[in-house]
Amino acid sequence: MNPYNANILVVEDDKQIRKFICYLLNGEGFKHTAASTGQGALSILVSEPIDLMLLDLGLPDIDGMEVIRKVREWSDMPIIIVSARDQDKEKATALDLGADDYLTKPFSATELLARIRVALRHLYRQNSGYRAQSVLQVGGLQIDLDKRLLFVDGHETHVTPMEYSLLALFFKNMGKVLTTRQILKEVWGVDYGSDTQALRALMAGLRRKIEENPAKPRYIVTEIGVGYRLVDE
């Protein structure tokens, strides 16, 4: 049931939620460890092999952001934020700091499991040299990174170089939320600033080429106030 044999760390100070998540992970066959404080989480992280962390931002001892910052100093493990804080700014900050995904409480069990799977798949692909693969596919969308070609439902589709590099960025981070800032930095270059309008225009152009209905996107969905995500089904 668990193809990746992952060990998941659950960092959550609320006892009921922690129990519920552990129960859920148990049911899905994941190995898991739980911590109720940030310090506890950090000490587990250095002593146990952890593959993925579910992190609550509102911890009693240290701020969740600090935990992300510390972990990112030495590890690229997927971090999924599970928080009751529903502030776009915090979401974006956490993602910019290197968190992979963000879930706002209350969340559904299905949703949480789906996010965990996406993150693990991403991790697995990285470890198994998926990046070396030149042809990637999501639904009817296929990209050939070597030949710089894009196929929509089997038809070759022409996109501009900018649109291509935007799409390629999403394919390399399949299922992961990319913040506006991260995208601007990757596609336009360092210190491009915060010209989100340019990004919106570019995104609109790309969607018109790959989506059936740009207002009901199937592939690249908008995370309002945070950024975008390429759906990984």
Interface contacts to other proteins, rule CB under 8 A: 14, 16-17, 20-21, 23-24, 27, 58, 84-86, 88, 104-112, 196-197, 200-201, 203-205, 207-208, 213-217, 221-225
Kindly tell me which of 56 and 77 has the beta carbon lying closer to other proteins: 56
Kindly tell me which of 107 and 124 has the beta carbon lying closer to other proteins: 107
Determine the distance from the C-alpha atom of residue 180 to the mean position of all C-alpha atoms in its chain, rounded to a whole number.
13
Query: Shortest Cβ distance from residue 183 to other proteins (Å)?
Result: 14
Kindly tell me which of 113 and 145 has the beta carbon lying closer to other proteins: 113
Partnered with residue 150 across adjacent β-strands are: 143
DSSP 119-175: HHHHHHHHHTTGGG--EEEETTEEEETTTTEEEETTEE----HHHHHHHHHHHHTTT
Kindly tell me which of 76 and 212 has the beta carbon lying closer to other proteins: 212
Query: Shortest Cβ distance from residue 202 to other proteins (Å)?
Result: 10
Q: What is the DSSP letter of 20?
A: H
- Burial readout 139-150 (b: 16 or more C-beta within 10 A, e: otherwise): eebbbebeeebb
Query: Shortest Cβ distance from residue 38 to other proteins (Å)?
Result: 17
